[in-house]
Structure 1
Amino acid sequence: MGEKIMFGHSNMDLDCFGSLSMARYLYPGHLMVRSGRIHPVAKNLYTVYRDHLEMITAKELKKHSIDEVVIMDTRQYDRVKEYFRFIPDFSGKITVYDHHCETDCDIPGASVYDGDFGANTSMLCMELLKRDIHVDENDATIALAGIYADTGNFSHGNVTGRDFQAAQYLMEHGASLNAVGKLLSKLREEHQVSLFHRLLNTIQFHNIQGYSIITSWMKLEGQMAGLAAVIERIFEVEDADAYIAVFELEKEGSHLLIGRAGNPRIDLNIIMNSFGGAGHPQAASALIKNSSGFPIYAHLLNMLEQRLKHALTSMELMREAVTISRKMTLLDSALRLEESGNSGAPVVDEDERLVGMITLRDIQKGRKAGQMNAPVHAYMTRNVIHADRNTTIREIEQMFYRHDIGHLPILEDEKVVGQVTRSDYIKFLQNNGDFREIIPQE
């Protein structure tokens, strides 16, 4: 009878290690196999926990007779072919655990378990929680690092409540936040700090279909450890919807693209797929081999212009305008706001043109002064910040932050056609998972 093994995708990342550290409890006795390539962000973790993980290398599979395979964090054959290369006669059972639900499985005969999770590790944790299985504190720490890394510290748009449940499960089993923090800390090396400053000086700012996109292009001799951490740090520093860095690798004759996105309507996985890469909607990369001399950077910019649909605007966010006539009294204004359920409204003149803004707070001042029969224009705010139908939601966000306002009238031909309130914006933030499909799949 043959042996049973489990492994993750090539270029193993933290979520891959986290998934395997949990899978060993679902599949006790299975040998864990390590890829020949470990992603730079996961190398420190593997160095620290090497003895605990007890993994064999893919090459060592030649010494074993395998009759069952369990695969973590991918359902694409190209990402696991390095393992099957050493077991060419394998014809046994294949089970896949992969949270990339949007990807088709091309591994022949595989049974796939998937679900809506921000991290693949979370899916394994939830299965262990359901079975009331306890895990070792070291495995709990490895798994928590995987969840933190793949969810962007629980900030990515694909994070679900079950990712938090998984993290709680791991904390209850002794996961160390201190260790996770050290494993995830960025820019440890001198060359990373140097590259960070060099890249900052090459950044180009673009407004592409209403999105704030930053890009950079740089020549490197070859691939460098910790590039992704540098990109993430720059993305954290710069206020942009997405950042894509293009590295021309001179010795290899290749190009490496690494991207990060914060806007849930920009799917970097689809973008990188166009270059033969992969990843997540908010973090993806692509290595384009034998591409020396090709204008990859120009092609990237052109593709973004063509394939990104326009960013959401005030049209998708605004509510119907409830206006107040400048001739109305504060009392009439208060009744109108109460009837409409608004805390503020634009004030208009006889031609429906914007002349001010009145809020319940302004009316309260008149009430305290015993002036509820005073005309509304005596208490309204003048020189009102406003937007138009084509103002993007990103621009609206900046208006709220910069001017500390709670109501933003939307104008067309100088007339009020709607307004966006702070509560409208908050609802948008809470429901941004519903706003996808900006880059249509071909």
Structure 2
Amino acid sequence: MGDFEKVALSPDVEVVIFDHHPQSQEDMKIDIDFSRQLGSTTTSIVALIRERGIPITPFEATVFAIGIHEDTGSLTYPTTTYLDVETVAFLMAQRANIKIIRKFLNLTLTKQQHKLLEELILKSKIVRIKDVDILMSHVKTSEFVNGFSVLAHKLGDLEEADITFIYAKMRDRIYIVARSKRDDIDVGKIISYFNGGGHPTAASASVKGMTLHDIEKKLIEQISNEIGSPLTAKDIMSTVVKTISEKTTMKEAEERMVLYGHSGLPVIKRGKIIGIISRKDIDKAVRHKLSHAPVKGFMLKRIITASPDTTAKYLQKTMIENAIGRIPILDGSKLVGIVTRKDILRAQHGDEYMPENNLLISSHSFTPETIRKRITQLLPKWLIKVIDNIGELADKQNVKAYLVGGFVRDLLLKYSNLDVDIVVEGDGIAFAKKVVKKFDGRIRSHKKFGTAVVILPNDFHIDFASARSEYYEHPAALPSVEKSSIYQDLHRRDFSVNSMAIALNKKNFGQILDFFGGQRDILEKRIKIMHNLSFIEDPTRIFRAVRFEQRYGFCMDSQTENLARNAIGMKLVDELTTSRVREELVALFSESKSWRVVMRLDNLKALRTIHPQLKSTLYVIKRLKEIQSSFYKLSDEFSPKPLHWIVNMIGLFYDVPLNEVEKWCSKMKMKKKYLINFPQ
């Protein structure tokens, strides 16, 4: 800091900091810190000015806007936040001069800068490190040239590089400038080796006592340390591959594609892949009235395959060059997975770029650290240890294991929930047996559904299942299930808030898989159905939606509510088996505020699907409220303690004639001991 150091480090001087870079151990002592991790420090300054109600002149607004544009690359750098954008909008409202802003942001290069840029272009080269292309260049000049950092932007833009490092020897120093457009490569961390500063997307350093050759060698070494191993096919592939035989007809292949939502299927003969049939092939066959023909005559026989260790970048290149949408992954001759264009897009850009994945913006996401903290707060220590051990066991067995369902939802809502469900990508029953062996427990398995219940020595139950997809033969039917991926498993569930998973494997423990916006819907208190036919396939979800609304204070979004009303109007609840309706009603009327449940069911016109004589009158609501109040006061006086749902059902059916109640209880297969509780 030069002479300023004496002032800044004086104990008599109050140090106030505005910064947008991450804190480091080398930071000086700070008395008041206004630092925030934003795209621009100017955003923090303007926020404080606005908070204190200080007026801003058009000139000041222009200067502030230039600062934000400069720091954020005119709001295009990855570090840009919505606060930076909102602040620029505010400054424009204060009459910031856009012509002046443009003038200062597009400064003409000096002759010296032009000369250096030309030399940087001539000497630039691509260095590939762990499948990542790094643009590097260097120059040497006897004089100091201002604005060297600007040239890093210029060179990177000209060469369309994601990562750029330039370094120049000027007099007795070497100046290094780094720029990154990738979230996964932190150039600030790389440059810190040279005692430089900056943040993940932009950093610089000045070095003495090293040659340009030494700088390049050390840069490559540090970049290699920072960049993780490249993504490979085994990291991104779907491991449960839907296949067909060569004798399958084109019509049957089409039905399978519609069922699974695929646009192509591998063709297998004696365990080996012999071709691929695509949707286009089927369309052509249908057009020529050849739906009855086997796929053998239409499939693509020139198959491009890859091994599990093939990099994602190479897979992408192969797809582009060969105009194909999927590549089967073979371990030897065994089909172990498949990579599609969607998998490549997810690997490159994250799930938010996928049209079917309505993910949260980062400000709404729960981090792995937050998840670990919630688990520590809400679960007993012994159960935390069990969950950690299951994650370690998953690593040893080379499978991916996830916490799923209501456990995840309630964890995010800070509710204690000991109903632990774990999904495994692979054989859930086989994995459950390994868990039983480790903890000396017992197991009950159901091969048809690929599920198992592990009973620990302390009698605690954990449910295990293979990741699976479901399809329904007709409305209100029980689903047929098939092994699938975690994505398909989450997609088959009822609501977005129940369609999240938490990774248990050590490498990414606590990471949330949220393909359908569940986190956002939790924060915005919204119940959202997964797809338009969801209530038709399973009308019990109508009762579940009402239950979650009342329990958490949520509301169905307009589309979900309309779909629920449509399903009720189609009388699909009548097609459900009585046991399924009974189970949902027991859960529904076990909720604490049953009068709200009744009012909501009546509002949806679902109350009379339970019994045609049920009504949500003022007297019924008043009675249920009184029951609620009395239950908690008096229930401990009874032995055994009365069931909450039975008491609420009595209040609901109180005005229905007893003979009708008896018929209904018989229809619902209620136990006789529950019926005697109804008033005569």
The CA distance in 2 between the partners of 1:319 and 1:386, in whole Å, is 14
1:413 aligns to 2:322 (yes or no) = no
Residues 14-163 of structure 1 correspond to what in structure 2 (within 5 A)?
A: 82-86=3-7, 91-104=12-25, 106-127=27-48, 135-163=56-84
**1:222 and 1:183, CA in 2 relative to 1: closer, same or farther beyond 3 A?**
same
Deviation at 1:82, TM superposition (A): 4.8
1:169 aligns to 2:80 (yes or no) = no
Letter matched to residue 147 of structure 2: G
The CA distance in 2 between the partners of 1:410 and 1:302, in whole Å, is 32
Match of 1:392 among 295, 305, 311: 311
The CA distance in 1 between the partners of 2:291 and 2:49, in whole Å, is 64
The CA distance in 1 between the partners of 2:99 and 2:318, in whole Å, is 38
Q: Which residue does 1:23 correspond to in 2?
A: none
Deviation at 1:270, TM superposition (A): 0.7
The CA distance in 2 between the partners of 1:426 and 1:386, in whole Å, is 19
1:330 aligns to 2:271 (yes or no) = no
Q: Which moved more, 1:170-179 or 1:212-221?
A: 170-179
The CA distance in 1 between the partners of 2:143 and 2:213, in whole Å, is 17
Deviation at 1:425, TM superposition (A): 3.8
Letter matched to residue 194 of structure 1: K
The CA distance in 1 between the partners of 2:320 and 2:100, in whole Å, is 36
Q: Which residue does 1:369 correspond to in 2?
A: 288
Alpha carbons 2:119, 2:139 under 8 Å: kept: no
Alpha carbons 1:354, 1:414 under 8 Å: kept: no
Secondary structure of residue in 1 paired with 2:22: coil
Match of 1:296 among 208, 215, 225: 215
Q: Which residue does 1:202 correspond to in 2?
A: 123
Alpha carbons 2:116, 2:139 under 8 Å: kept: no
Q: Which residue does 1:185 correspond to in 2?
A: 106
1:344 aligns to 2:264 (yes or no) = yes
Deviations 1:346-374 (A, max 9, x none): 34443332523523x44333334333223
Residues 245-260 of structure 1 correspond to what in structure 2 (within 5 A)?
A: 245-249=166-170, 251-252=171-172, 254-260=173-179
Alpha carbons 2:250, 2:295 under 8 Å: kept: yes
The CA distance in 2 between the partners of 1:390 and 1:85, in whole Å, is 56
Q: Which residue does 1:42 correspond to in 2?
A: none
Could you say which structure has the greater relative contact order, defined with CA pairs below 8 angstroms and 6 or more residues apart?
Answer: 1
Alpha carbons 2:178, 2:202 under 8 Å: kept: yes
Deviations 1:306-337 (A, max 9, x none): 45332233333222333343332222222222
Structure 1: segments with no counterpart, 5+ residues = 1-77
Deviation at 1:199, TM superposition (A): 1.6
Alpha carbons 1:245, 1:257 under 8 Å: kept: yes
Secondary structure of residue in 2 paired with 1:420: strand
The CA distance in 2 between the partners of 1:157 and 1:354, in whole Å, is 44
Structure 2: segments with no counterpart, 5+ residues = 353-361, 369-506, 508-680
The CA distance in 1 between the partners of 2:10 and 2:165, in whole Å, is 41
Letter matched to residue 369 of structure 1: H
Q: Which residue does 1:67 correspond to in 2?
A: none
The CA distance in 1 between the partners of 2:77 and 2:120, in whole Å, is 24
What is the TM-score of this pair, normalised by structure 1?
0.68
Match of 1:233 among 144, 149, 154: 154
Secondary structure of residue in 2 paired with 1:206: strand
Secondary structure of residue in 2 paired with 1:93: coil
Secondary structure of residue in 2 paired with 1:271: helix
Alpha carbons 1:314, 1:420 under 8 Å: kept: yes
Letter matched to residue 422 of structure 1: R
Letter matched to residue 209 of structure 1: K
Deviation at 1:232, TM superposition (A): 1.5
Alpha carbons 1:346, 1:357 under 8 Å: kept: yes
Deviation at 1:265, TM superposition (A): 1.6
The CA distance in 2 between the partners of 1:165 and 1:401, in whole Å, is 39
Alpha carbons 1:354, 1:416 under 8 Å: kept: no
Q: Which residue does 1:308 correspond to in 2?
A: 227
Alpha carbons 1:330, 1:375 under 8 Å: kept: yes
Deviations 1:6-63 (A, max 9, x none): xxxxxxxxxxxxxxxxxxxxxxxxxxxxxxxxxxxxxxxxxxxxxxxxxxxxxxxxxx
The CA distance in 1 between the partners of 2:157 and 2:78, in whole Å, is 16
**1:170 and 1:295, CA in 2 relative to 1: closer, same or farther beyond 3 A?**
same
**1:382 and 1:195, CA in 2 relative to 1: closer, same or farther beyond 3 A?**
farther
The CA distance in 1 between the partners of 2:74 and 2:270, in whole Å, is 53
Alpha carbons 1:211, 1:241 under 8 Å: kept: no
Alpha carbons 2:169, 2:212 under 8 Å: kept: no
Alpha carbons 1:186, 1:230 under 8 Å: kept: no
What is the TM-score of this pair, normalised by structure 2?
0.46
Letter matched to residue 334 of structure 1: E
Deviation at 1:186, TM superposition (A): 6.1
Q: Which residue does 1:262 correspond to in 2?
A: 181
The CA distance in 2 between the partners of 1:142 and 1:324, in whole Å, is 65
Secondary structure of residue in 1 paired with 2:165: strand
Secondary structure of residue in 2 paired with 1:365: helix
Alpha carbons 2:17, 2:33 under 8 Å: kept: yes
Q: More helix per residue: 1 or 2?
A: 2
Deviation at 1:288, TM superposition (A): 0.5
Deviations 1:89-115 (A, max 9, x none): 562433323232353473324232343
The CA distance in 1 between the partners of 2:316 and 2:97, in whole Å, is 36
Q: Which residue does 2:132 correspond to in 1?
A: 211
Q: Which moved more, 1:194-203 or 1:102-111?
A: 102-111
Deviation at 1:208, TM superposition (A): 1.2
Match of 1:242 among 163, 171, 175: 163
The CA distance in 2 between the partners of 1:165 and 1:171, in whole Å, is 10
Deviation at 1:202, TM superposition (A): 1.4
Q: More strand per residue: 1 or 2?
A: 1
Alpha carbons 1:187, 1:226 under 8 Å: kept: no
Deviation at 1:162, TM superposition (A): 2.7
Q: Which moved more, 1:195-204 or 1:396-405?
A: 396-405
Q: Which residue does 2:449 correspond to in 1?
A: none
Alpha carbons 2:14, 2:31 under 8 Å: kept: yes
Bigger Rg, which one: 2
**1:348 and 1:106, CA in 2 relative to 1: closer, same or farther beyond 3 A?**
same
Letter matched to residue 193 of structure 1: H
Q: Which residue does 1:272 correspond to in 2?
A: 191
The CA distance in 2 between the partners of 1:88 and 1:114, in whole Å, is 19
Secondary structure of residue in 2 paired with 1:309: coil
Secondary structure of residue in 1 paired with 2:27: coil
Letter matched to residue 279 of structure 1: G
Residues 413-432 of structure 1 correspond to what in structure 2 (within 5 A)?
A: 413-428=332-347, 429-430=349-350
Secondary structure of residue in 1 paired with 2:127: strand
Percent identical pairs in the alignment equals 24
The CA distance in 2 between the partners of 1:127 and 1:374, in whole Å, is 72
